[in-house]
Chain A
Amino acid sequence: MAAVSGGRRSGPAAGVRFFCTAGRGLEPFLMREVRSRLAATQVEYISGKVFFTTCSDLNMLKKLKSAERLFLLIKKQLPFNVSSVSKGKILNEMQRLTNDDPESWLNAISIWKNLLELDAKKVKLSQKNANPLKRKVGENAIIAKKLKTEQMQEIQENKECQLEKQIEEETLEQGNFTTKRDKSQEELQNDVTEAVDTHNQNNLTFRVSCRCSGAIAKTFTAQEVGRVIGIALMKQFGWKADLRNPDLEIFIHLSDIYSVVGIPVFRVPLASRAYIKTAGLRSTIAWAMASLAEIKAGAVVLDPMCGLGTILLEAAKEWPDVYYVGADVSDSQLLGACDNLKAAGLKDKIELLKVSVIGRTNRICWWIKCEEKNKDD
């Protein structure tokens, strides 16, 4: 359950409960990562998801490397029993997900808003302080675009949060929610004061994404469940559904082991990296492999079959004070790797060679004498 009162704007709420999806086999890496990066507590792993509690803000959460997606936890409970019960009864039970304990939902949503608000403030601050000369043009364009879309949404939430200070959380009014997404950033920032005066913008638009697996998937389709929960939410909180561009996305996963409800924290999965132009290996796995090498500062690291350089990219981002060398036998892969390095701004950190790791062994063998040198010192 999402813990602790929301509404405090001074800092992130203490001990917020999250969960991450992770690829099969990466869960131990993710558990280690949340403990070391986020000082997470109450870390649990259940079949493809890692649950944890942390006080970290969005900036730190964004840095998770072995997770697929990050969600704020609303509810985690025992799975629905589908064996001998009628379909209607099960649907009733599903509605109880939303109706039994509306406080936990509203709690989670206010925590979510606080997180985004804090992040929006930091983004504005960092934009003022950013040295434009340091950034490369390509990176700048990507970052600028992302910031703009995130900011547009965060400023939206910011505006709503201001309003909720005026109106008690329990009384959510019906009203027309005029979407102002087309307005420019400057206009939105000035709008905050204007919005405080108008009292009718308290509705969130939302969308339900549902996944069913195991026994329940045989009885229900994801759409059915999504629809039932969606309607229950509309009745309970008065939100409006928007399938294309909602403010709030609700994620539900019903399986044989649990029923989990959460809010995705970022629009883009953590696994898609801004600094990788063309991924070869999946970024999460590449990072996990690099972490197994126990790379220390001052080391020389070789990837003898680097392909597009994904492992080296992940490693260079995490352990920067290291000399990286990538080798591959294929020209096209090396070309792609070169491209990737340029796009990530890592041309200085990662060298490339064309080498074959198999082939005739004769008197001429080429080695990179990394460790041998170490032994002689």
Chain B
Amino acid sequence: MKLLTHNLLSLPVQAMGARGFALCLQATEVRINPVESNPDFVAGMIPKVEWAVLLEDSDTLHLFKVPKKPIQGHEHKENFLRNVHHVLLEVDVLEDTLQCPESGFLFPISRGIPKMLLSDEVT
């Protein structure tokens, strides 16, 4: 599961306001895969990404230091885009558990695929 996917998953809870919480990442097995660079794509993704979650993920997994806020005019900052590209697309979480901060519910990630089921229904 890439960190971009982790970022896109969120919990919309009415009382909490528009964005809701993200899942808590406790990385157990992580792999770094080189991914062909596409700066335009990354630049386009930055506005869509929840920056706080990105910061937290980057911290938890001891990755590059990501700046506290996306750089203004980031489309032209090569280094910045490369770092963000690395964090969002090149880090693959293989085995882990995601925890919902609201309910404490645990969702396993196995072989890179997070299982977001509330019960062991259909498999």
Residues of A near any B CB (own CB < 8 A)? 297-298, 300, 321, 323, 325, 329-331, 334, 338, 347-348, 351-356, 359-360, 362-370, 373-374, 376-377
**Which residues B1-29 have CB closer than 8 A to chain A?**
1-2, 4-5, 8-13, 18
User: Which size bracket describes the interface of B in this complex?
Assistant: 35 or more
Q: Does B72 contact A (CB under 8 A)?
A: no
In the complex, A334 Cα to B123 Cα: how many Å? 10
Name which residue of chain A comes closest to B10, CB basis. A369
Q: Is the CB of A348 within 8 A of B121?
A: no
Checking A298, A325, A363, A377 against B13 with a beta-carbon cut-off of 8 angstroms, the contacting residue is: A363
Q: Is the CB of B48 within 8 A of A374?
A: yes
Q: Does B74 contact A (CB under 8 A)?
A: no
Stretch with Cβ within 8 A of A (4 or more), from B60-68, B76-84, B97-105: B97-105
Q: Is the CB of A354 within 8 A of B117?
A: yes
Q: Is the CB of A329 within 8 A of B121?
A: yes
Q: Does B52 contact A (CB under 8 A)?
A: no
Q: Give the Cβ gap from B26 to chain A, nearest Cβ, in Å.
A: 18
Q: Is the CB of A359 within 8 A of B118?
A: yes
* A355 with B117, Cβ < 8 A, contacts A348-B89, A364-B102 known: yes
**Which residues B39-71 have CB closer than 8 A to chain A?**
40-41, 44-45, 47-48
* A330 with B112, Cβ < 8 A, contacts A351-B1, A366-B9 known: no
Q: Is the CB of B5 within 8 A of A353?
A: yes
Name which residue of chain B comes closest to A370, CB basis. B8
Checking A300, A348, A353, A373 against B114 with a beta-carbon cut-off of 8 angstroms, the contacting residue is: A353
Q: Is the CB of B118 within 8 A of A298?
A: no
Interface secondary structure of B, over-half rule: loop
Q: Give the Cβ gap from A246 to chain B, nearest Cβ, in Å.
A: 43
Q: Is the CB of B123 within 8 A of A321?
A: no
Checking B11, B38, B116 against A354 with a beta-carbon cut-off of 8 angstroms, the contacting residue is: B116
Q: Does B113 contact A (CB under 8 A)?
A: yes
Q: Is the CB of B113 within 8 A of A352?
A: yes
Q: Give the Cβ gap from B109 to chain A, nearest Cβ, in Å.
A: 10
Name which residue of chain B comes closest to A367, CB basis. B12
Residues of chain A with a CB closer than 8 A to B123's CB: 329-331
* Among B18, B35, B115: residue with most chain A CB under 10 A: B115
Checking B8, B33, B44, B112 against A352 with a beta-carbon cut-off of 8 angstroms, the contacting residue is: B112
Q: Is the CB of A366 within 8 A of B116?
A: yes
Q: Is the CB of A363 within 8 A of B103?
A: yes
* A298 with B41, Cβ < 8 A, contacts A334-B113, A367-B12, A377-B47 known: yes
Q: Is the CB of B41 within 8 A of A297?
A: yes
Checking A297, A364, A373 against B118 with a beta-carbon cut-off of 8 angstroms, the contacting residue is: A364
28 residue pairs bridging A and B, Cβ less than 8 Å apart: A298-B41, A298-B44, A300-B48, A321-B41, A323-B4, A323-B41, A323-B45, A325-B8, A329-B117, A329-B122, A334-B113, A338-B111, A338-B113, A348-B33, A348-B36, A351-B1, A353-B1, A353-B114, A354-B115, A354-B116, A363-B13, A363-B102, A366-B11, A367-B10, A367-B12, A369-B8, A369-B10, A376-B18
* A373 with B48, Cβ < 8 A, contacts A348-B35, A348-B36, A363-B103 known: yes
Q: Is the CB of B116 within 8 A of A355?
A: yes
Q: Is the CB of A359 within 8 A of B13?
A: no
Residues of chain A with a CB closer than 8 A to B13's CB: 363
Residues of chain A with a CB closer than 8 A to B118's CB: 356, 359-360, 362, 364
- Among all A-B residue pairs, the 4 with the closest Cβ atoms: A298-B44, A354-B115, A373-B48, A331-B123
In the complex, A325 Cα to B45 Cα: how many Å? 15
